[in-house]
Homo-oligomer: A and B are copies of this chain.
Amino acid sequence: VYHEPWGAWAFPIGPIGSDGLKVRLRAQRGDLQRVAVWYGPRYEPARRDYPYPLPLQRSAPLDRVASSRLFDYFEGTLHEPTRRVRYAFLLDDGRRRRWYGPDGAAEARRQAGAFEVAHLDATERHDVPDWARGAVFYQIFPERFCNGDAKNDPAGTLPWSEPIDLRRDHERFYGGDLRGVIQKAPHLASLGVEAVWLTPIFLSPSSHKYDTEDYRQIDPSFGDDDTFSELLDVLHRNDIRVVIDGVFNHSGERFAPFRDVLQHGERSRYRHWFHIRDFPVRQEAPQNFETYAFYGHQPRLNTRDSEVREYLLDVARHWTLRGVDGWRLDVANEVGHDFWRAFRQTVREANPNAFLVGEVWQQADPWLRGDQFDAVMNYPFMGTAIGFFAADRFGPESFDARLTDRRMHHPDPVNDVLLNPLGSHDTPRFATRCEGEAEHRRGRAALAAVFQLTYPGAPLIYYGDEIGLGLTGEATRLPMRWESGNQDLPLLELYRRLIALRRPPSVLRTGGYRTLLQEELTGTYAFARTPGAQIDRETADGGLPVLVVLHRSPQEHLISVPVAPLALPDGLLLTDALTDSTYPVRAGQVTVNCGPWQAAVLIVRPQSPARSAVLAGTDG
């Protein structure tokens, strides 16, 4: 049994002043039948002797919300009006009941002790922007999205259809620009995405622009300040937010302070802006200064220096005040935590709804405690999706266990906004990783899209995935294909339908998650997104559950999905939102005849006669 009174295990819900604390408990799989949390205030008015062990007089049940290979996870919420909380768990394994507290498990409550959350308002709270919870993001690599203005094309711009040369890609240009993004706003709007993340747009010599020359100037081959204002206007008018890319770990070699150092060496007044071991600066390997990776043209910035800090925070303030809705922060894990805390404070002062997401590829706890980022790019999600959908590296049970352990690792507000990618400009496209014949690859990619767009968190679509880019091995940064004859239109329609399902109010945004089926033999995995009431999530959407069936198999199978945990009444008709086929609930099951690589997203249509019965059953 495991619990800690902080982090993902105990977190306040709602705004400052709320009295709710959600608690999570992990137990050995199958060990516990029932768990309750008993709680009370940390002080009592009548008692003046401190500290004193107070009785725990109120209780709330915990639900088993997930299981992985070794563990069951239980969740519940307590509401302590004084906001100064003591609590312990009462464990019931079917034979006997024991208390569990910071001093371990014991027959006697006193012996187990009581966990404390000293004051709910003093506890770190994840104030993630509401708009980002469960929102659909779309990543644009501007140089390769759309060339909207040929006049700003750099010298030697290649034809849009020219194949990628991976080794020289950073110095090859196709002419994509901000005008192109503006022109394609209708595509984004009709797709239904709620936010775009633009990889860097500031002056830089490369095609990727992760080597900034000037943090305050839009790269002229992308447009100018006015173009950017127009882009913000147009996208905002389409209810699409704009997140830009902040590259603060390092600059480019043309960044004026670094040029000054190259020119004046030790006498440069900017020498402390970088980490330089000795002079003169040597850009070729082995460099005598710190770089991003081992790239001599990307000198690492000294973000501990107060001048550098002020400079970069000014940049952040400037663009935030200009109207951007958030920042994606490059190589965030190589920059100090105190810089990110100051960064959050600066950006949130300029825009209290700004969204902050860090590039951290691995376990990211130290950045996700509420004081730095709202989210990270959830690459472990990508790895899990690749292993299951693209490559059959593991079956449904292992897939579910990986998802569970990751989800239980973060508090709800973080899970709500983790940016879930299937790929990015830094990885192969998901479709190119899919194994097998063409039809199988396409089936796998479509299944993964259904999963990405129904799973908790903020799906991050990499430009082009929605029209099948990558299915025939296209390079990651290949220019977008705009001629409809070159687009996989059924796939695009699938994306549109799925994204439309996430429109509020939808349990797909912040609803709960219950695994329904993990069938190794048929490669089938099914889960439900559930309304708030069932798991007592402060922000969960109301409404009706959504069932997702994913059939990762080239064969056909008749799949019976147990829906008992959802209390759906017999006879209720579920509709597959992808095909409009209907399926009745019979004896606590829904049976779907799954073709190869088929997915079903089963919803209760508003006109369903049994709808009110379901609402009564699930909202109680």
Report which A residues bind B (CB closer than 8 A): 4-6, 16, 43-45, 50-51, 84, 102, 115-116, 118-119, 121-124, 285-286, 293-294, 304, 333-338, 341, 360-363, 365-366, 369, 371, 426-427
Contacts and interface: CB of A to CB of B under 8 A. Distances in A.
B334 A115 contact: no
B333 A118 contact: yes
Contact of A6 (B5, B304, B336, B365): B365
Contact of A122 (B5, B45, B334, B369): B334
Nearest to A84: B334
A369 B363 CA distance: 17
B426 A43 contact: no
Nearest to A383: B103
A426 B369 CA distance: 32
Contacts of A365: 4, 6
16 contacts: A6-B363, A6-B365, A6-B366, A16-B304, A50-B293, A50-B426, A102-B362, A102-B363, A115-B362, A116-B333, A116-B361, A119-B334, A122-B337, A124-B337, A124-B366, A338-B371
Contact of A336 (B43, B50, B115, B121): B121
Contacts of A118: 333-334, 360
Contacts of A426: 50-51
Most buried by B among A5, A51, A122: A122
- 8 shortest A-B CB distances, which residue pairs? A118-B333, A45-B294, A119-B334, A43-B293, A116-B362, A122-B336, A118-B334, A6-B366
Given A84-B334, A102-B363, 7 more contacts: A16-B304, A43-B294, A51-B426, A118-B360, A122-B335, A123-B366, A124-B337
A130 B337 CA distance: 23
A326 to B, nearest CB: 21
A554 B504 CA distance: 72
Contacts of A121: 336
Nearest to A427: B51
Given A50-B426, A362-B102, A362-B116, A45 B336 contact: no
A430 to B, nearest CB: 16
A56 to B, nearest CB: 15
Nearest to A51: B361
Contacts of A84: 334
A122 B121 CA distance: 29
Contact of A5 (B43, B285, B293, B362): B362
A6 B360 CA distance: 14
Contacts of A427: 51
B119 A333 contact: yes
Contacts of A293: 43, 50
Nearest to A5: B363
A16 B305 CA distance: 13
A349 B561 CA distance: 62
A93 B84 CA distance: 46
A235 B404 CA distance: 57
A44 B294 contact: yes
B286 A45 contact: yes
A387 to B, nearest CB: 10
A362 B88 CA distance: 14
Nearest to A293: B43
A261 to B, nearest CB: 19
Contacts of A341: 341, 371
A457 to B, nearest CB: 20
A304 B127 CA distance: 15
A285 B115 CA distance: 27
Contacts of A43: 293-294
Most buried by B among A121, A286, A427: A121
A441 to B, nearest CB: 23
Contacts of A334: 84, 118-119, 122
A364 to B, nearest CB: 10
Nearest to A116: B362
A333 B86 CA distance: 13
A503 B386 CA distance: 59
A565 B238 CA distance: 71
Contacts of A124: 337, 366
Nearest to A334: B119
A43 B45 CA distance: 59
A302 to B, nearest CB: 10
Contacts of A366: 6, 123-124, 369
A469 to B, nearest CB: 20
Contacts of A285: 45
